[in-house]
Amino acid sequence: DLIGKRDPEQKQFKTTVSKVLETVVPVLEKHPEYKEQKILERMVEPERVVSFRVPWQDDKGVTHINRGFRVQMNSAVGPYKGGLRFHPSVNLDILKFLAFEQVYKNALTGLPIGGAKGGSDFDPHGKSDNEVMHFCQSFMTELYRHIGPHVDVPAGDIGVGGREIGYLFGQYKRICNAYDAAVLTGKRVDYWGSLARPEATGYGLMYFVKNMLDDKNISLKDKTLVVSGAGNVATYAIEKAQEYGAKVVTCSDSDGYIYDPNGIDLDAVKEIKQVRRGRIKEYVAAHPQAEYHEGCTGVWTVKCDVALPCATQGEIDIESAKALVANGVIAVGEGANMPSSLEAIEYFQQNKVLFAPAKAANAGGVAVSALEMSQNSERLQWTFAEVDNKLKDIMANIYRCAKANAEKYADPDDLVAGANITAFVKVADIMLAHGLV
């Protein structure tokens, strides 16, 4: 009702928010001050939404007009922080639900960052470098007014990688005549980016999963893992899992998946995906013992102890969840954002599968982005080991807090509720301290 009356058309936002808020009901019952001070009503209303025109010209001189957005959801914990997404599907409904989720994820890191999300319906696919640069420059020519190292610090997301961050930062620096490196994160290491950022989400996922399994005296050593994806998150999750002595038998791209009974040869995957920018099916040519299967959902029918969806939203539906449970899966750790359907999550929980929700388990990426801001403020660059050690502590702390709140308010193994409650209480208490703003 909080959203339905004002914005009935924003269905995704409404669905996400209701699911999150359902899990915090036990806290509201214990803390009437949250209700009295209308914390929920304030949390679902962005502090600011900016929508703007982005005009740009393609290589043929044809003019295009896209729409740009920045949803500044909540700055109780620190400056707004969240990615920019360039994709034709971008609209206000999607960005509001992503921004809402970001507030909670960022709060979980324990670092001083609020939550935001932004982007444009621009599609970078098939555009030349020159066109992407012109688009980024036009986008930043408006966005620069609304961001800043103490105000709002965007990062990349779908369609916004190192190239786009470079063009956006170049334009910001030019307009403001200031080398405010901490205004954007995900920068290349040679111009104030952080070491260990590419590894952060995948490593962080494994740190979280290891904490969750250690708590049950289960070792990752010699466990069989099924991983989906072969991009940034999947690659570094596989790397860390192998370091822990686990055997990862699959990975995938949007065409299909590979199964290697001997364990994935990660150097070969990196060579195919990062160096040659090829397709995962090329793996089998040099690995005759491995199999390639067209289509992605079949990956969840492979027998495993731990499943790590690291490819994309909505990749585990109820059928995939049933297949995993039937094959005896012990734990599921979400590397991608919202890879499991709500039905799938419920099914895992009913069947006592340890479940590490994305908001907590993949927060390592944004945590290291916040560490990039710290390094920029200090004008220093930390070593890989320094960043990685901090990441390890942050993920352990997220696990500890989520588990403690699950034990206090919900089912002791319900880390979905535990993570939501941890973040909610942190943000709500600071909002109370700041008064009615």
DSSP class of residue 316? B
Least distance between ligand NDP and beta carbon 82 (Å)? 11
Q: Write out the binding residues for NAD(+).
A: 201, 232
Q: Which helix (H) or strand (E) holds 365?
A: helix 364-378
Give me the least distance between CB of 311 and ligand NDP, in Å please: 3
Q: Strand, coil or helix: what is 94?
A: helix
In the complex, the smallest distance separating the C-beta of residue 186 from ligand NDP, rounded to whole angstroms, is 8
- Minimum CB distance to ligand NDP, residue 113 (Å): 14
Q: Where are the beta strands (DSSP E) in 135-246?
A: 152-155, 224-228
Nearest to 70 by CA among 55, 85, 87: 85
- Could you give the CA distance from residue 127 to residue 121 in angstroms, rounded to a whole number? 14
Q: Is the dihedral of CA 336, 337, 340, 345 positive or negative?
A: positive
Q: Is 115 in the site for ligand NDP (CB under 6 A)?
A: no
Nearer to ligand NDP, 230 or 410 (CB): 230
- Which residue from 120, 211, 362, 422 is in contact with ligand NDP, where contact means CB under 6 A? 362
Q: Is 109 in the site for ligand NDP (CB under 6 A)?
A: no
By CB under 6 A, residue 309 contacts ligand NDP: no
Position 232 contacts ligand NDP (CB under 6 A): yes
**Of 390, 363, 431, which Cα lies nearest the Cα of 73?**
431
Amino acid at 359: K
Which x/- pattern, by CB under 6 A, does the window 141-180 give for ligand NDP? ----------------------------------------
| 313 part of the interface to ligand NDP, by CB under 6 A | yes
340 counts as binding ligand NDP under rule CB under 6 A: no
Under the binding rule (CB under 6 A), the answer on residue 372 touching ligand NDP is no
Q: Are 189 and 158 within 8 A, CB to CB?
A: no
Selected catalytic residue, list 30, 35, 60, 117: 117
Name residues whose C-beta falls within 8 Å of residue 307's C-beta, 6 or more positions apart in sequence. Answer: 225, 226, 300, 316, 324, 329, 331, 332, 333
Number of chain residues interacting with ligand NDP (CB under 6 A):
22
| Helix/strand/coil for 285 | helix
Q: Which stretch binds ligand NDP (CB under 6 A): 36-44, 145-153, 331-339, 381-389?
A: 331-339
230 binds ligand NDP (CB under 6 A): yes
d(CA 376, CA 386): 15
Helix, strand, or coil here: 407? helix
117 part of the active site: yes
Using CB under 6 A as the criterion, which residues of the chain lie in contact with ligand NDP when the complex forms? 201, 228-234, 252-254, 296, 310-313, 315, 335-337, 362, 365
Residues taking part in catalysis: 117
